[in-house]
A and B are shown apart, each in its own frame.
Chain A
Amino acid sequence: MTAYLLRRLLYALPILLGVNIITFVLFFVVNTPDDMARMQLGDRRVTQEAIDKWKHERGYDRPLFWNGAAGGLASVTDTLFYGSTVQLFSFDFGTSDGGRDIGADLAQRMGPSLAIAVPVLVIGLVAAVAWALVIAWLRGSRIDTWSAVICVGMMSISGLFYIIGGQYLVAKTWRLVPISGYDYGLAGLKFLVLPVLVGVLISLGANVRWYRTIFLEEMGRDYVRMARAKGLSDARVMLAHVLRNALIPILTGVVVLLPTLFLGALITEAFFAIPGLGSYTIDAIQAQDFAIVRTMVFLGSLLYILGLLLTDLSYVIADPRVRLG
C-alpha cells in the first residue's frame, strides 16, 4: 500500500512537469515576453527601455531553456524555464504581473470558494441521490417518466439562465436575499443561499439521470432478488441493500472532485461577486495576468492528480476486494 502510494506520487511528477512545459510553451514560446510586456504596458508605441525594465522586474529577461553565457550547470539553472518551474514546485508562487503576492491571495480567497463549493457538493449529492433512489424504486411509473422529462429539460438549460433567472426572481423581484456580495462569518449566510441553490440546480438533472442508472444496475443484481425472496420490505431492500452498494460508485465519483473544490466555481463566483479563487482566476484572465493563470493551471493539475489518487484509495476503503499493488 505504502509502496503503491509512493509510486503514484512519483508518477505525478512527470505529469506535473508536462503540464508545466505545456503552459510554459504557451506563455513564453508562442509569444515572447516582449509581446507580453507590450500588452501589459498597454501601448503599442511603448519604448524598448520600458519593456526591458518590465521584463527585468519579473525575471523574464533570462534565456528560455538554455543559457549559453553562464556555462556549466548554470547554463540550465539560470534560465526562465528552470527558475519558474522550481518556483512552482516549491509552492513559491511569487508575485503576479500586477505586483501582488499570489500565495497570500490564494490563502485568503480559498475560504469563500469553499464556503460555496462544499455546500453545493453536499446538498447536490443528497438531493440527487434521494431523487434518483425514488425514481429507481418507482421505475416505469408516471413519476419516473416525468422525472426523465424534467431532468433532460434541466440539462438543456444553460447554467447562465439559472444564475440570471435566480438573481432576477429571488433577489430582485422577491427581495429575499442580496443580489450579490460576500461577508465573512455568520453574517455572510444570506449571501450564500442563492449561489448554493444555483450551483445545486446546475448539475442536478445530469446527476439524477446518472445515479438512476447506477441504482437500476444495482437493483438487477442477484443479492437484491435474494433480499426480496427473503421477504424484506421494499424500503429495507432499497435503503439497506441497494443504496449502500450503489453509494460506492457514486461516492468514488465524488472523491475525484474533492480537491478541485478549492478552485471554486468560475462563473457562479463571478456573477455573485464572491471573492473566491474562481473569480480570482476570471479577473486574472480578463486582466491578462499570466503569472496568476500559470499558477492556477499548476494548482488545478496538482489537485486533479490528488483527486485521482484519493479515488484509488477510496476504492480500497469502500470495497475490501480491491487490492492495490
Chain B
Amino acid sequence: MGELVVLTTDACLFALIAAGLAFFFVARRIEHLRAPWREVWRRPAAVGGATVLAAFMLVAVADSVRFRAPGGGAAPDGGVDAEVLSALDLWLTPLRTRVETSYSAPLATHAYSRESVSDETGGMRRVHPRLRHGGAHLADPARDRAADVARRALAGVAGGLLCGLLASVLVVVLVSRRRSSTFGRAVGALVHGHATGAWRALLVVVTVLAVVVGVCAALAPHYHVLGTDKVGNDVLYQALKSIRTGVLIGSLTTLISLPFALVLGIAAGYFRGVVDDVVQYLYTTLSSIPGVLLIAASALMLDVYMAKHAIDFEALAARADLRLLALCAILGITSWTSLCRLLRAEALKLREIEFVVAAQALGVRHRGILRRHLLPNVMHIVTITTVIDFSGLVLAEAALTYIDIGVDPSMESWGNMINGARLELAREPPVWWSLAAAMGFMFALVLAANLFADAVRDAFDPRLRGGDGLPGTPAE
C-alpha cells in the first residue's frame, strides 16, 4: 500500500463515525437513552433500514480511506493528484479500469451505437461493434450470452444465500448461547419472530444484500452489470462511488449545524431576555430567506471566490472536496434554524422544571446547569432531527446539482449521474440505465433512512407529530 492521504471530508467522516460510536457507548450506560433504542431494535422495518444504512456507510468508509498509488508517485507541487485511490477503488479495479468507448446497455456484449467497419470485401457496413471488455470471453455472444449470464448469476445467488445462511447460524448460536436455550428453540423463536429484537428482519435483509452483492460480484468481472455511460465508464462503479457523496451530505450537514443550533437554542431558552431576542431575530431572519436562494447565492459566491483563487484549487480532487464541504456548510446554515427553534422551546420548558430550579437555588453555576441538566434532556430532539434530516438532504443533493449549485461536476454523485443522463432518454432506443441506477441507489438509501427515522421518532418522542419534523427538501 502507498502513503495514506486524508482529504478534509474524509477526516470529517471519520470524526462523524467516532462521534457516533462515542454517543453509542454513552447511550448504553444511560437508561433513558437506552430504552428508546431498545424500542427501535424491536421494529423489523427499522432494523431492516438500519442494516441497509450500515451497508451504505461501509461503502462510504471504504471510499474514504485513500492511498497514493505505489506506482504513481507524488505530484510535483505536492498537491493531491489523480493517482490517489481509495480502498474501494482498489477493490473495484476491474470495474474502474475496464472502460469502453461509449454507451452500452446492462450486460451487453455489443456497443449501444453503430460504427462503420470495413468487412472482408472492402465495403463499409454500420454495425454495433463488440465491446472491449463486456462479454469479451464469449466466442459467440448471440448463442452463449444468456446461458453464461444465467450460470454466473445463479452462482452469485448461491453464494449470497450461503453467506446469509452462515450469518443466520452464527446469530442463532449467539442468541441461544446468551439466553442459554437450546439451538432448536432459538431457531423456532427466530423463524416465528418471537426473539427479542428483530433478528429475523436483520437476517432477511442481510441475505438479500448478500445475494445482490453476490450476483454483481459474479457478473462484474466479465460484464458491465449496469451498462456504461457516455464515455464508457462502468455505471455500477459510478453509482457505488456516489454513495460516499450522498452519505456525507446527509450526515455532515447536520454535524456542522449542530453546534450552532445547540448553543444558541439552549442559551436563548435558558437565559431569556436579550439573548433570546437576538437569537430569535437571527433565526427568523435566516429562515425567512428561501433555502434554495440562499444556497444558490452562497454557491455563486463560492464560484467567484474559487475563480479568484484559482491557484489554490488546481488539484481537481481538493477542489471538489472543498466544494462538497462548502455545500454541506451552506446546507447546514440554512437548516439549523428549525432545530434551534425546537431546542429553544424545549429549554424554555426545562428551565421551569423542579430539578433545574433546585440546582439554581443550590447555587450551581449556569454552565453546570446547562451541561448537566439541559443538554442531556434535549438530546432526544437532536437525535430525531439528525436521522429525519438525512433522507431529505440526500434527495436535495440531486436537485441542487441539477441547478448547478450542488457538488462539483467532476465528483461522482447521483445528482451528476442524473444530470448527465436525463437528455439521453430522448434517444431511440432510450439510454435508461444511468438514470435507473442513480435513482435505484438513491431510493434504497432514502427508503432505508426513512424507515429508520420513523422508528427513531416514535421511540424517542411519541408526541412529536409527523408534521413537525418532516424532512424538508429545500429545492422543491
Query: What is the interface of chain A, defined by CB distance below 8 A to chain B?
Result: 14-15, 18-19, 22-23, 26-27, 30-31, 35-36, 38-39, 152-153, 155-161, 164, 167-168, 172, 202-203, 206, 209-210, 212-214, 217, 253, 260, 263, 265-268, 270, 281-282, 285-286, 288, 290, 293-294, 296-297, 300-301, 304-305
Do residues A31 and B308 form an inter-chain contact, with CB atoms below 8 A? yes
Extra 7 A-B pairs, beta carbons < 8 Å, given A155-B471, A156-B446, A281-B292: A39-B303, A160-B399, A161-B443, A168-B425, A265-B476, A267-B476, A293-B297
| Nearest CB of A to B315, in Å | 19
Of listed B285, B447, B454, residue having the most chain A CB within 10 A = B285
For the complex of A and B, the 10 pairs showing the least CB-CB separation, nearest first, are: A18-B285, A300-B290, A156-B447, A210-B467, A156-B446, A301-B288, A31-B304, A285-B296, A213-B466, A304-B288
Do residues A26 and B476 form an inter-chain contact, with CB atoms below 8 A? no
With A31-B304, A168-B430 as known contacts, state yes or no: A267 contacts B425, CB within 8 Å.
Answer: no
User: A253 to B475, alpha carbons, bound, how many Å?
Assistant: 19
Question: Which B residues between 245 and 284 are near A, CB-CB below 8 angstroms?
Answer: 281, 284
User: A30 to B473, alpha carbons, bound, how many Å?
Assistant: 27
A-B contacts, 16 listed (Cβ < 8 Å):
A31-B308, A35-B305, A39-B304, A158-B395, A158-B398, A160-B402, A210-B467, A213-B465, A213-B466, A214-B467, A267-B476, A293-B296, A293-B300, A297-B297, A301-B290, A304-B289
| Nearest CB of B to A51, in Å | 13
Which chain B positions have C-beta within 8 A of A27? 297, 301
Inter-chain contact total with CB atoms closer than 8 Å: 155
Which chain A positions have C-beta within 8 A of B473? 159
Interface size class of B (residues with CB under 8 A): 35 or more
Question: Which B residues between 444 and 460 are near A, CB-CB below 8 angstroms?
Answer: 446-447, 450-451, 454
User: A315 to B210, alpha carbons, bound, how many Å?
Assistant: 54
Do residues A281 and B476 form an inter-chain contact, with CB atoms below 8 A? no
With A27-B301, A39-B304, A152-B450 as known contacts, state yes or no: A286 contacts B293, CB within 8 Å.
Answer: no
Judge whether B422 is part of the interface by a CB distance below 8 angstroms: yes
With A152-B451, A267-B476 as known contacts, state yes or no: A164 contacts B470, CB within 8 Å.
Answer: no
Do residues A14 and B281 form an inter-chain contact, with CB atoms below 8 A? yes
Judge whether B442 is part of the interface by a CB distance below 8 angstroms: yes
Chain A residue at minimal CB-CB distance from B422: A164
User: A17 to B293, alpha carbons, bound, how many Å?
Assistant: 17
Chain B residue at minimal CB-CB distance from A157: B443
Do residues B297 and A158 form an inter-chain contact, with CB atoms below 8 A? no
Residue B466 contacts which of A161, A210, A266, A297 (CB distance < 8 angstroms)?
A: A210
Do residues A253 and B293 form an inter-chain contact, with CB atoms below 8 A? no
Which chain A positions have C-beta within 8 A of B284? 15
Judge whether B27 is part of the interface by a CB distance below 8 angstroms: no
| Nearest CB of B to A188, in Å | 23
| Nearest CB of A to B404, in Å | 6
With A157-B443, A158-B439, A210-B470 as known contacts, state yes or no: A297 contacts B289, CB within 8 Å.
Answer: yes
User: A161 to B417, alpha carbons, bound, how many Å?
Assistant: 13
Which chain B positions have C-beta within 8 A of A36? 304
Do residues B403 and A270 form an inter-chain contact, with CB atoms below 8 A? yes
User: A168 to B294, alpha carbons, bound, how many Å?
Assistant: 32
Do residues B467 and A297 form an inter-chain contact, with CB atoms below 8 A? no
Chain B residue at minimal CB-CB distance from A278: B292
Do residues A288 and B300 form an inter-chain contact, with CB atoms below 8 A? yes
Residue B288 contacts which of A153, A172, A305 (CB distance < 8 angstroms)?
A: A305
Which chain B positions have C-beta within 8 A of A157? 439, 443, 446
Do residues B293 and A35 form an inter-chain contact, with CB atoms below 8 A? no
With A15-B281, A158-B442, A297-B289 as known contacts, state yes or no: A267 contacts B304, CB within 8 Å.
Answer: no
Which chain B positions have C-beta within 8 A of A288? 300, 303-304
Judge whether B146 is part of the interface by a CB distance below 8 angstroms: no
| Nearest CB of A to B74, in Å | 29
Residue B297 contacts which of A14, A23, A260 (CB distance < 8 angstroms)?
A: A23
Which chain A positions have C-beta within 8 A of B300? 285, 288, 290, 293
| Nearest CB of B to A54, in Å | 14
